[in-house]
Chain A
């Protein structure tokens, strides 16, 4: 147990921010940066994919479905290698591991987010669409002003869970030597050599603290939103005329 504290005392800076400020930023900071960037850029793409997926137009629906199935059926590590080899070929420039990882995460998360958003859209009662169409709103207006705002609000907890998945996925940056938390822990392990169990327990502990608190946040939000919705329901029931 004491070993763990000694390792933490000696290496906390490396695990937290890498070589910064004397070198490049790394460690937990890069892990968080990767996950935030990955999710932020994946979000609009995921919404577009989801809209295409539920669209009545066939040539939008089929490609979206194909993309989603391909991404969900292939391991993330494969996508990392694809990006790693082909992003430089496509852009004609050398691409850093960090960029490679962000691009991969964006594609990968977009497909998963698309399914989350789709569940949100399909979870809304049909009456919503029908009512807004009856009021004379076009399909696009209905989608943008009625369906999406409600679907996205209901999906906030699922998005937080998705953020947790993204954090866990950034650990794969290790295979292309991105300077993130898992990579930093391996550096610590390589300098110490004698205490691999303690080092990796620390690593697991850091991920656990981060992801577990976010998971709890997702659960809390879920209850709050569910509570709000049932609250609204009882309210509307109360407002119904008594027969």
Chain B
């Protein structure tokens, strides 16, 4: 092991560029996957609240599959498996446009949607039925009652788990390196194998991951505080 730490190695322009590009890719992947997860998650939660047994069963299967299969395997299934089943024109287009990024985004987003939908469902279920009944009695439509009465309260209750699953999503984007997405972990390995400054490079990457995770937690806590109903 190196006796002295020398972080100046990371300031070399080519390494710095790799790190910065890795961080940008990581953010893009996190953001896109998060949006996909929230949208699909909300749809799933809403579908599961309906009375159709079949729809409920489908959502339950979706959730169980995504929660009980490792994220890495899901990424492999999309990237190596599903990709080959697509029409040839799609495959060409994907190969020309960073298919590894696209499939990593889809795999992580769809898997985390299962977690997000469970969080939202937990929030919605904790709102007593009488709230909806009262809102309906006041003349609000079902959608308006959901949007104005149920959802704002449900989000408040679901916030802590939503935040911790956002952190999980962020951490899971690191798995995209296994299919060659040039995000932070990938860049870290590249620089390590070129420079052999193992300690410095890994310390930097670990510190970056940790500070972003803590940042997400802090922002989550701030939003939670904002949403909290002020006691009067």
Please indicate the chain A residues that have their CB under 8 angstroms from the CB of B202 in the complex.
78, 81-82, 85
Please indicate the chain B residues that have their CB under 8 angstroms from the CB of A85 in the complex.
198, 202
Cα of A215 to Cα of B71 in the assembled complex, Å: 16
Cα of A187 to Cα of B133 in the assembled complex, Å: 58
Please indicate the chain A residues that have their CB under 8 angstroms from the CB of B1 in the complex.
86, 89
Using CB atoms, name the residue of chain A closest to B185: A77
A85 to chain B minimum Cβ distance, whole angstroms, is: 5
Q: Assess the B177–A77 pair: CB atoms within 8 A.
A: yes
Q: Assess the B214–A197 pair: CB atoms within 8 A.
A: no
Cβ-based interface call for B138 (8 A)? no
Residue among B167, B175, B189 making CB contact with A81, cutoff 8 Å = B189
Cα of A72 to Cα of B213 in the assembled complex, Å: 9
Q: Assess the B74–A215 pair: CB atoms within 8 A.
A: no
Residue among B81, B172, B210 making CB contact with A196, cutoff 8 Å = B81
Q: Assess the B209–A215 pair: CB atoms within 8 A.
A: no
Cα of A85 to Cα of B74 in the assembled complex, Å: 27
Please indicate the chain B residues that have their CB under 8 angstroms from the CB of A82 in the complex.
202, 206
Residue among A75, A168, A171, A175 making CB contact with B209, cutoff 8 Å = A75
Q: Assess the A215–B64 pair: CB atoms within 8 A.
A: yes
Q: Assess the B64–A201 pair: CB atoms within 8 A.
A: no
Cα of A4 to Cα of B174 in the assembled complex, Å: 30
Cβ-based interface call for A164 (8 A)? yes
CB interface residues, A 66-91, toward B, < 8 Å: 69-70, 72-78, 81-82, 85-86, 89
Cβ contacts A131-175/B at 8 Å (1 or 0 each): 000000000000000000000000000000000100111011011
Residue from A75, A171, A174, A201 having most chain B Cβ neighbours under 10 A: A75
Cα of A169 to Cα of B174 in the assembled complex, Å: 13
Cα of A3 to Cα of B71 in the assembled complex, Å: 24
Cβ-based interface call for B95 (8 A)? no
Q: Identify the B interface with A (CB < 8 A).
A: 1, 64-65, 67-74, 76-77, 80-82, 84-85, 167, 171-172, 174-175, 177-178, 185, 188-189, 198, 202, 205-206, 209-210, 213-214, 217
Q: Identify the A interface with B (CB < 8 A).
A: 69-70, 72-78, 81-82, 85-86, 89, 164, 167-169, 171-172, 174-175, 182, 186, 189, 196-201, 203-204, 207-208, 211-212, 215
What are 16 A-B contacts with C-beta separation under 8 Å? A73-B167, A74-B206, A74-B210, A74-B213, A75-B185, A75-B209, A171-B70, A172-B175, A201-B77, A203-B77, A204-B69, A204-B77, A207-B73, A208-B64, A208-B68, A212-B64
